[in-house]
């Protein structure tokens, strides 16, 4: 599904994960000094998961962006 | 699946943002895919232009609904690691068999559906029986998914049931009606990625908290007073020696052979995804890729259930014990087995991550509805409406019929959801209904593909006898609980064993009747069996030029990993 002029499925996956990654990083940063009442919050899972999703989503967004041959 | 009547948590604004982003993208995909769904081939089979990866992920994702995720996480809590059998032996061999052995016949026969293959091989009788039962089941299952989603949203977040049903149904109807299978497939791949993004934190953080796999096993053994919960095979020597009350013969032959092969090779809901592949090699590779990902799913489903046995605690620090849903409903403060996943999600995930997890669950429910309703509209349009009601309509008429049947299908699903709301036991019956048809259908299809002597009458009567016997056994056990000892061949068998052995018996009855009737009826001329039956069909080359491109090579890799995993957790 990557014919010329079409948007790749991987682009949709990438853009959603990128958006979620950015939202999670922003949330994770605000939680650095005010962690949520969850188990292992001291490991900052929101921030690290956000970084991972941003990297994954960013790669797929750029690699499969519309118009790229 | 039922929950106790209390709210577990609430969403923060950032969680709402995550949920809204998902809904926005889903609706956009529907409108985007509409421009590419002009012909019936486009609408019902996504133009047969999906790559192996997309068809493969969609294939495994169509089965990865939230109903299954939450149910099997609860089963892992209840029965231990035995629940992983439904993901490994209950899926992997069958998925590989579909890809390597059966897919060439489905693909080169150019059928649009599994009932369509039955029509080509066994005539209209078998097709009608299969199409009508499948259409009925899919639409009812869609309603069950819808209701389950609404109950989860009410329990976890306190949302109104009617709001959840109509928003979920409206969104799914919109994107499937607009974009057909293409839209459903895009959303299924998206959902697969989302489920991992939303659920993977639970086992990762859970294993960190538990101190690793070895310490988790030790803690479970202490908490439940038995080490049976972390072994997959050593406890299956007798019905009474494992928490599930099953025997290894039921797991290997009932689950691993009949139920699994029946579901993964003949249920059109999943096979339709593979039929959308863009060439024969992609069609063969898709189930192999799906199988590889399927093997990893226990990490986000079974491991959280096991972790809950070790780490879930009450407010006073004592070990939390989950109970059956009927007990949880009538006992304030108690949680049911099916609440394992939401409970673990809330344990580890604060704002943001919680929204991601909830969005993954919503995506899973909506994908379950979309999968059912898109398969329904295909079977209704091709195998009921186009086959028996209006045979000579134009292609555009069938596309319009596909769109209308999607909307009507969703309305029937909504009615089913409200019906289930008023009579919960219907949900168990609907889920049981699927098992009536799947096991015998596998008998009919496999004989049709592998045995050229099977005749039209043999196929029809075998399918009918197998289905009728399955329904008969179900009613027998429902009305007389002691009948289970005869069906499972042991007085120690528990209800879970009934499904496995009922499937096995109904498959055997289907095969025996098909063979006997075929032997006394006139054979189908060999010329009519070309492209349908092994032995009279030249299998075309799939175009693989190196070992890395061969589906068989990758199937061998996957089955090797499958055996290693079973040995590790033996």
- Contact, B39 vs B363, CB < 8 A? no
Q: What one-character-per-residue DSSP string does B115-173 give? A: HHHHHHHH-HHHHHHHHHHHHHHHHHHHHHHHHHHHHHHHHHH---HHHHHHHHHHHHH
Q: How far is A22 from chain B (nearest CA, A)?
A: 11
Chain A CB contacts of B50 below 8 Å: 1
Do the Cβ atoms of B186 and A28 come within 8 Å? Answer: no
**Coil, strand or helix: which one is A44?**
coil
Whether B1 is covered by a domain: the verdict is: no
**Coil, strand or helix: which one is B452?**
coil
What is the per-residue pLDDT for B511?
A: 97
Residue range A9-21: mean pLDDT, rounded: 96
Do the Cβ atoms of B209 and A40 come within 8 Å? Answer: yes
What is the per-residue pLDDT for B150?
A: 86
Whether B393 is covered by a domain: the verdict is: yes
Residue among B24, B54, B197 with most chain A CBs within 10 A, to mutate: B197
Residue range B77-89: mean pLDDT, rounded: 94
Longest dimension (CA), chain A: 49
Do the Cβ atoms of B351 and A41 come within 8 Å? Answer: no
Whether B79 is covered by a domain: the verdict is: yes
Residue range B197-205: mean pLDDT, rounded: 95
Q: What percent of chain B has pLDDT over 90?
A: 53
Nearest to B12 by CA among B363, B304, B349: B349
CATH number of the domain where residue B188 is located: 1.20.1730.10
Residue whose token pair is 């059109």: B268
Do the Cβ atoms of A38 and B50 come within 8 Å? Answer: no
Q: For the ranges B33-47, B163-177, B335-349, which has the lowest average pLDDT?
A: B33-47
- Contact, B409 vs B184, CB < 8 A? no
* Most confidently modeled range among B263-272, B494-503, B516-525: B516-525
- Look up residue B86 and give its two tokens: 């439904």
Q: How far is A69 from chain B (nearest CA, A)?
A: 17
- Contact, B37 vs B186, CB < 8 A? no
Residue ranges making up the domain that contains B21? 13-568
What is the per-residue pLDDT for A1?
A: 46
Query: Among partner residues B32, B186, B356, which is closest to A20 by beta-carbon distance?
Result: B356
The Cα-based distances of B298 to B248, B301, B339 in angstroms read 20, 5, 17
Q: Which residue of A has its CA nearest to B23?
A: A16
Q: Which residue of B has its CA nearest to A15?
A: B25
Q: State how many domains chain B has.
A: 1
Tens digit of each residue's pLDDT (9 = 90 or more) over B448-473:
999 999 999 999 999 999 999 999 99
Q: How many whole angstroms separate alpha carbon A50 and alpha carbon A52?
A: 5
ipTM for the whole complex: 0.93
Tens digit of each residue's pLDDT (9 = 90 or more) over B214-228:
999 999 999 988 888
Do the Cβ atoms of B208 and A31 come within 8 Å? Answer: no
Q: How far is A52 from chain B (nearest CA, A)?
A: 10
Whether B8 is covered by a domain: the verdict is: no
Q: Which residue of A has its CA nearest to B359?
A: A20
Residue of higher predicted confidence among B493 and B390: B390
What is the per-residue pLDDT for A4?
A: 54
If you compute the radius of gyration of chain B from its CA atoms, what whole number of angstroms results? 23
pLDDT over threshold 80, residue B331: yes
- Look up residue B138 and give its two tokens: 């899919």
> Band of the pLDDT at A5, cuts 50, 70, 90?
low
> In this structure, how many other beta carbons lie within 10 angstroms of the beta carbon of residue B37?
23
Do the Cβ atoms of A20 and B348 come within 8 Å? Answer: no
The C-alpha torsion from B130 through B131 and B135 to B136, rounded to 10°, is -50
Residue among B42, B312, B353 with most chain A CBs within 10 A, to mutate: B353
Q: How many whole angstroms separate alpha carbon A18 and alpha carbon B188?
A: 18
Mean pLDDT of chain B: 89
pLDDT over threshold 80, residue B139: yes
Q: How many whole angstroms separate alpha carbon B323 and alpha carbon A51?
A: 38
Query: Among partner residues B14, B194, B205, which is closest to A45 by beta-carbon distance?
Result: B205
Q: Which residue of B has its CA nearest to A11?
A: B190
What is the per-residue pLDDT for B455?
A: 96
Query: Among partner residues A9, A19, A38, which is closest to B21 by beta-carbon distance?
Result: A19
pTM: 0.90
Start-to-end C-alpha separation, chain A: 13
Tens digit of each residue's pLDDT (9 = 90 or more) over B224-248:
888 889 999 999 998 888 888 889 9
Q: Where does residue A40 fall: left (phi above 0), alpha (psi -120 to 50 degrees), or beta otherwise?
A: left
Residue range B56-75: mean pLDDT, rounded: 87
> Band of the pLDDT at A46, cuts 50, 70, 90?
very high
What is the per-residue pLDDT for B206?
A: 97
What is the per-residue pLDDT for B1?
A: 47
Close Cβ partners of A26 (under 8 Å, ≥ 6 residues apart) = A50
């Amino acid at each position: 599904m990557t014919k010329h002029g079409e948007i790749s499925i991987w682009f949709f996956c990438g853009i959603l994960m990128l958006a979620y990654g950015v939202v999670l990083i922003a949330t994770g940063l605000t939680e650095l000094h005010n962690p949520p009442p969850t188990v292992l919050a001291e490991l900052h899972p929101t921030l690290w998961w956000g970084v991972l999703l941003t990297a994954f989503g960013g790669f797929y967004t750029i690699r499969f962006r519309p118009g790229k041959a | 699946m039922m929950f106790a009547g209390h709210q577990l948590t609430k969403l923060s604004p950032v969680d709402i943002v995550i949920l809204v982003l998902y809904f926005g993208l889903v609706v956009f995909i529907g409108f985007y895919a509409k421009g590419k769904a002009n012909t019936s081939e486009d609408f019902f089979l996504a133009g047969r232009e999906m790559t192996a990866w997309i068809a493969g992920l969609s294939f495994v994702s169509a089965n990865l609904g939230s109903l299954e995720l939450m149910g099997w996480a609860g089963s892992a809590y209840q029965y231990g690691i035995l629940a992983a059998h439904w993901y490994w032996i209950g899926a992997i061999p069958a998925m590989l068999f579909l890809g390597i052995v059966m897919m060439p016949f489905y693909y080169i026969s150019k059928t649009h559906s599994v009932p369509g293959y039955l029509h080509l091989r066994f005539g209209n009788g078998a097709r009608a029986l299969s199409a009508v039962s499948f259409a009925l089941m899919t639409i009812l299952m869609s309603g069950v998914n819808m209701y389950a989603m609404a109950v989860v949203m009410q329990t976890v977040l306190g949302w109104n049931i009617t709001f959840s049903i109509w928003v979920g149904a409206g969104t799914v109807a919109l994107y499937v009606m607009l974009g057909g299978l293409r839209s459903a497939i895009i959303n299924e791949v998206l959902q697969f990625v989302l489920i991992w993004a939303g659920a993977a934190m639970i086992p990762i953080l859970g294993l960190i908290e538990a101190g690793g796999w070895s310490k988790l096993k030790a803690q479970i053994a202490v908490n439940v007073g038995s080490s049976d919960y972390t072994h997959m095979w050593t406890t299956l020597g007798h019905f009474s020696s494992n928490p599930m009350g099953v025997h290894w013969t039921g797991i290997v032959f009932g689950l691993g052979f009949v139920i699994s092969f029946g579901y993964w090779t003949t249920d059109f809901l999943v096979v339709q995804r593979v039929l959308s592949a863009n060439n024969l090699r992609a069609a063969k590779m898709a189930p192999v890729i799906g199988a590889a990902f399927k093997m990893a799913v226990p990490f986000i489903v079974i491991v959280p259930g096991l972790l809950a046995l070790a780490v879930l605690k009450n407010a006073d620090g004592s070990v939390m014990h989950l109970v059956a849903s009927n007990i949880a409903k009538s006992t304030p403060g108690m949680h049911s087995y099916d609440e394992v996943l939401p409970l673990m999600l809330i344990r580890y995930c604060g704002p943001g991550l919680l929204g991601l997890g909830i969005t993954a669950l919503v995506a899973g429910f909506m994908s379950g509805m979309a999968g059912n309703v898109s398969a329904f509209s295909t079977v209704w349009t091709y195998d009921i409406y186009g086959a028996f009601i209006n045979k000579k309509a134009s292609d555009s008429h069938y596309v319009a019929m596909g769109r209308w049947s999607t909307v009507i299908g969703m309305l029937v699903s909504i009615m089913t959801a409200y019906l289930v709301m008023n009579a919960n036991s219907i949900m168990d019956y609907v889920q049981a209904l699927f098992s009536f048809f799947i096991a015998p259908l596998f008998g009919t299809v496999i004989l049709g593909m592998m045995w050229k002597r099977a005749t039209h009458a043999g196929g029809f009567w075998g399918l009918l006898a197998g289905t009728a016997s399955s329904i008969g056994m179900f009613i027998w056990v429902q009305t007389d609980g002691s009948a289970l000892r005869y069906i499972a061949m042991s007085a120690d068998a528990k209800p879970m064993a009934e499904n496995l052995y009922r499937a096995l018996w109904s498959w055997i009855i289907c095969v025996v009747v098909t063979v006997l009737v075929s032997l006394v009826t006139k054979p189908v001329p060999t010329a009519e069996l070309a492209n349908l039956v092994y032995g009279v069909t030249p299998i075309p080359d799939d175009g693989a030029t190196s070992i890395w491109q061969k589906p068989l090579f990758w199937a061998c890799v996957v089955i090797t990993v499958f055996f290693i995993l079973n040995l590790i957790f033996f």
